[in-house]
């Protein structure tokens, strides 16, 4: 991403006793902007060069930062930028989906080092956490003792009130209600002492786009993620807003109407389970939708219908959310191939162009960039944000 497209975040403080905040600030700047000389970090953070130099030396000694390649072309000696050390921190992210679960090991720079996937007819706790346990053993077995000790925790992205989705998934209601009282942390404690962080799956996807994707270009935006069911997230003033019940951006619950005028939710008109049903009705096997690598060429007829219907619904939803908050942009992403995302965004723009915009400023309709891994990657962000980066960037700016 071009550096001049990355928006700024926050400033620091020179008083004693706040070194932890300033450490987080500088590491967040490096994560956001990439390799940066200490003098530039000091200017952006509003800290003295001496303060920044001391912090950077300490973080380098602790293995969180490393020196990059000298930057030439300036007056005087070449400046040596600092950058995140990829092996400085690791994190595990688990996405519990309606048709599949993804598990990944992420390094400090956001690179996926290892990834596993399992598919099922519908998710059940025993199967999902056996997958997590086996995957965690595989991940740690591939790391040195030093690197394994640097795993910050396990982030888990799961649908909000998942036990209520049994009917749409074809799961037995009584069996599926296990999720209602399920204690994620206690289950993990049975095989790992790593801390556990739970987040709504669509919010996790939004967080991944915000930290690693195009979300860095905007201050305020709404984010739609289309998986088996559609969901989303809200970013306000450079910060992912989770809401009172950690369910902000529950865009699947936005009201819509079918061709007869009957009220329904967006989840019932712009989700991938509708494409899955259409494919099955045509006598094809929809299991290919959930396998990696993704190849949806066999579903071109059904896919074109789904894109057209979903784009119209997304355009209406975009206007609805912009009537509440004056968003700069609407970012659209999902668990589908890049050409599908591009076509969906283009059609959404087309539908929006023909709608009544009185009293509103047209938002930009833009592609997300993280893709199908967004939920697991966002889950893995949880432990890292909690321990090393700034998780909220209210009001100030990271230059």
d(CA 59, CA 43): 19
* One domain, residues 251 and 293: yes
d(CA 251, CA 249): 5
3-state helix, strand, coil in the chain (%, to 5): 45, 20, 35
Helix (H) or strand (E) holding 157: strand 151-158
Comparing CA positions, the residue from 118, 374, 120 lying closest to residue 227 is: 374
- 266 part of a folded domain: yes
* One domain, residues 315 and 383: no
Write down the residue that tokens 């005087």 correspond to: 76
pLDDT tens profile 48-57: 999 999 999 9
pLDDT at position 333 = 98
Q: What percentage of the chain has pLDDT greater than the value 90?
A: 75
What is the pLDDT averaged over residues 252-268? 87
Mean pLDDT of the chain: 90
pLDDT surpassing 90 at residue 15: no
- 399 part of a folded domain: no
Q: What percentage of the chain has pLDDT greater than the value 70?
A: 89
* One domain, residues 192 and 261: no
Query: Reduced to 3 states, what is the DSSP secondary structure of residue 236?
Result: strand
- 133 part of a folded domain: yes
The pTM of this model reads 0.88
* One domain, residues 218 and 364: yes
Residue 276, Cβ neighbours under 10 Å: how many? Answer: 20
More reliable by pLDDT, 200 or 19? 200
* One domain, residues 26 and 111: no
Comparing CA positions, the residue from 95, 118, 122, 151 lying closest to residue 376 is: 95
pLDDT at position 168 = 63
Is residue 271 within 8 A of residue 287, CB to CB? The reply is: no
Is residue 272 within 8 A of residue 169, CB to CB? The reply is: no
* Largest distance between two CA atoms of the chain: 72
* One domain, residues 104 and 140: yes
* One domain, residues 351 and 382: no
Q: Residue 356: give its domain's CATH number.
A: 3.30.420.40
What is the pLDDT averaged over residues 221-236? 95
pLDDT at position 396 = 31
Residue 148, Cβ neighbours under 10 Å: how many? Answer: 13
- 206 part of a folded domain: no
Which of 59, 84, 109 is at the close of a domain?
Answer: 84
**Cα-to-chain-centroid distance, residue 233:** 9
pLDDT at position 79 = 83
pLDDT surpassing 60 at residue 58: yes
Residue 338, Cβ neighbours under 10 Å: how many? Answer: 12
- 208 part of a folded domain: no
pLDDT at position 262 = 87
* One domain, residues 221 and 364: yes
Count structural domains, the chain. 3
Residue 62, Cβ neighbours under 10 Å: how many? Answer: 11
* One domain, residues 51 and 103: no
- 59 part of a folded domain: yes
* One domain, residues 263 and 355: yes
pLDDT tens profile 168-224: 666 677 777 888 889 999 999 999 999 999 999 999 999 999 999 999 899 999 999
pLDDT at position 271 = 94
* One domain, residues 143 and 111: yes
What is the pLDDT averaged over residues 8-35? 74
* One domain, residues 101 and 69: no
Which of 84, 107, 137 is at the close of a domain?
Answer: 84
CA distances from 113 to 65, 143, 243 (A): 18, 10, 32
pLDDT tens profile 375-399: 999 999 999 999 999 875 433 333 3
DSSP letter at 79 equals B
- 114 part of a folded domain: yes
pLDDT at position 18 = 39
Is residue 272 within 8 A of residue 289, CB to CB? The reply is: yes
Sheet holding 196-200, edge to edge: 112-119, 100-107, 90-96, 151-158, 196-200
Domain that holds residue 36: 3-84
- 361 part of a folded domain: yes
pLDDT tens profile 72-125: 766 666 789 999 999 999 999 999 988 889 999 999 999 999 999 998 888 889
């Amino acid at each position: 991403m071009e550096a001049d497209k990355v928006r700024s975040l926050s400033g620091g403080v020179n008083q004693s006793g706040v070194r932890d905040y300033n450490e987080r600030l500088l590491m967040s700047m490096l994560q956001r902007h990439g390799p940066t000389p200490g003098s530039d970090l000091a200017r952006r953070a509003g800290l003295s060069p001496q303060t920044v130099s001391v912090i950077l030396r300490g973080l380098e000694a602790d293995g969180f930062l490393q020196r990059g390649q000298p930057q030439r072309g300036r007056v005087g000696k070449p400046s040596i930028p600092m950058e995140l050390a990829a092996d400085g921190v690791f994190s595990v992210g688990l996405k519990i989906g309606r048709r599949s679960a993804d598990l990944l090991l992420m390094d400090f720079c956001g690179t996926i080092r290892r990834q596993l996937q399992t598919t099922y007819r519908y998710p059940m706790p025993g199967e999902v956490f056996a997958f997590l346990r086996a995957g965690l053993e595989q991940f740690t077995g591939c790391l040195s003792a030093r690197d394994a000790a640097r795993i910050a925790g396990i982030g888990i992205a799961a649908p909000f009130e998942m036990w209520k989705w049994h009917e749409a998934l074809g799961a037995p209601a009584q069996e599926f209600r296990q999720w209602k009282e399920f204690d994620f942390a206690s289950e993990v404690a049975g095989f790992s002492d790593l801390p556990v962080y739970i987040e709504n799956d669509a919010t996790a996807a939004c967080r991944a786009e915000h930290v690693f994707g195009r979300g860095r270009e905007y201050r305020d935006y709404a984010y739609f993620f289309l998986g088996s069911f559609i969901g989303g997230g809200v970013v306000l003033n450079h910060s992912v807003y989770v809401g009172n019940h950690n369910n902000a951006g529950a865009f699947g619950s936005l009201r819509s109407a079918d061709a007869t005028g009957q009220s329904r939710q967006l989840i019932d008109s712009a989700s991938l389970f509708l494409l899955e049903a259409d494919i099955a009705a045509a006598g094809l096997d929809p299991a290919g939708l959930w396998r990696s690598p993704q190849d949806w060429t066999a579903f071109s007829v059904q896919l074109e219908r789904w894109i057209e219907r979903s784009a119209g619904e997304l355009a209406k939803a975009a206007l609805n959310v912009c009537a509440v908050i004056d968003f700069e942009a609407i970012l659209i992403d999902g668990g589908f191939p890049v050409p599908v995302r591009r076509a969906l965004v283009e059609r959404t723009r087309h539908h929006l162009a023909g709608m009544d915009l009185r009293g509103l400023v047209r938002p930009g309709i833009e592609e997300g960039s993280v893709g199908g891994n967004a939920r697991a990657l966002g889950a893995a962000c949880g432990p890292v944000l909690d321990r090393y980066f700034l998780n909220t960037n209210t009001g100030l700016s990271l230059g």
